[in-house]
Amino acid sequence: MQRRKLIGATCAAALALGMASGAMAQTRDKVTLLLNWYVYSEHAPFFIGKAKGFYEAEGIDLDIQEGRGSAVSIQAVAANSATFGYVDVPTMIRAATKGAPVKAVGVALQVSPMSVMGLAEKNIKTPKDIVGKTVAMTPGDSMSQIWPLFLKKTGLKEGDYKVVSGDGQTKLNAVINGQADLLLGYVMDQNIKIQDATKKPVQVIRFADYGIEMVSSGIVANKDTLANKGELVRRFMRATTKAFEATEKDPEGAIDAMLKANAKAGQRDTLIIGIKLTTPLYHTVETKNLRPLRASMKDVDASLDLLVQYGGLDASVRGKAEDWVTNDFLPQ
């Protein structure tokens, strides 16, 4: 009897230990990623990363939430309301110089997609054609933050045009319905939506074509998170790097994963065009042989120069590229 009791106790202990180990194995860190905007093609990597289990394999339970502009998402990360933000990095730098405790841990779009665009029938082909026109923009989003830099680089002034303000859909409706001639948008997003809605060609004036060669969207975190949860940041960035590589290899699969998670993200064909316009922005000449998200400090430094020269950034707080962007949490 004693032997049976001993065996029974041993089995029970082993079972309890196994259950405890299983529970520990299933424990995951809950992570919130707040996007810069409503879900669209640019965000597909995060969804294919979830679908392929990259985040789960790193012990992360990822919650992807839509945003309402980079400035708002940066504030949420600064307040620790979101673990990570996917935002415009130059907009983050502006916020950080004013005291926001945030830093970029990866740069996704290393070539700026920012543009001003309208129906081709309006015959607005160059910046000087904007004079006297109406531009739709969203206060506080990344493009409205960089727009003054575009004006200075092209010799335009605020009084040269009229403004219609509103959220993303309001901007689109304004151009589609003729209440505005132009809107501020991304080359792989709004221009495609305008074409889908109107069945008419769109003329795009890219900021990058007028000397605004700036890094763009990236992943930011609170400095407290970097200091106290560095291993979590490394795991998240390891999974995210794989997700961006998977998107480069299979853009259609990335869009399908996004639509499965959010069917209202858009039309599949349009989103595939968008992601195929996006992936070439993952690298510059400086980073063409590197894995996604790994930024060149030379490129970041050039962005800082532009912000000081034209974007209203005080030279006294410019700092170095490494003050605002780090590659330390990225996989080799």
Mark 5-35 as b/e (b = at least 16 C-beta within 10 Å): eeeeeeeeeeeeeeeeeeeeeeeebebbbbb
C-alpha 169/C-alpha 53 separation (Å) is: 32
Low-confidence winner among 6-15, 30-39, 150-159, 174-183 (lowest mean pLDDT): 6-15
- pTM for the whole structure: 0.81
Structure tokens at 152: 């200075």
Any idea which residue has 């970041």 for tokens? 300
Structure tokens at 197: 């809605």
pLDDT at 24 over 50: no
Structure tokens at 8: 């029974």
Alpha helices in the chain (DSSP H): 2-26, 44-51, 54-57, 70-78, 89-97, 142-154, 168-176, 190-198, 223-228, 230-249, 251-261, 268-278, 297-309, 321-324
* HSE-up of residue 195 (Cα within 13 Å, Cβ side): 18
Q: What percent of the chain has pLDDT over 70?
A: 92
Higher-pLDDT residue of 68 and 134 is: 134
pLDDT, residue 312, reads 82
pLDDT at 25 over 50: no
State the burial class of residue 172 (Cβ atoms within 10 Å of its Cβ: 0-12, 13-18, 19+): buried
Any idea which residue has 């005291």 for tokens? 99
pLDDT, residue 303, reads 95
C-alpha 145/C-alpha 186 separation (Å) is: 14
- Per-residue confidence at 12, pLDDT binned at 50, 70, 90? low
Question: Strand, helix or coil at 171?
Answer: helix
**Segment 151-177 mean pLDDT:** 95
Kindly report the average pLDDT of the chain as a whole number.
Answer: 92
Q: What percent of the chain has pLDDT over 90?
A: 80
CB 206 within 8 A of CB 195: no
**Segment 284-298 mean pLDDT:** 97
pLDDT at 279 over 80: yes
Residue 315: DSSP 8-state: G
C-alpha 210/C-alpha 153 separation (Å) is: 7
- Per-residue confidence at 302, pLDDT binned at 50, 70, 90? very high
**Segment 298-327 mean pLDDT:** 94
CB 105 within 8 A of CB 237: yes
C-alpha 183/C-alpha 172 separation (Å) is: 7
| Chain centre distance of CA 74 | 11
- Per-residue confidence at 26, pLDDT binned at 50, 70, 90? low
What is the tens place of the pLDDT at every residue in 170-220?
Answer: 999 999 999 999 999 999 889 888 988 999 999 999 998 998 889 999 999
What is the tens place of the pLDDT at every residue in 80-119?
Answer: 999 999 999 999 999 999 999 999 999 999 999 999 999 9
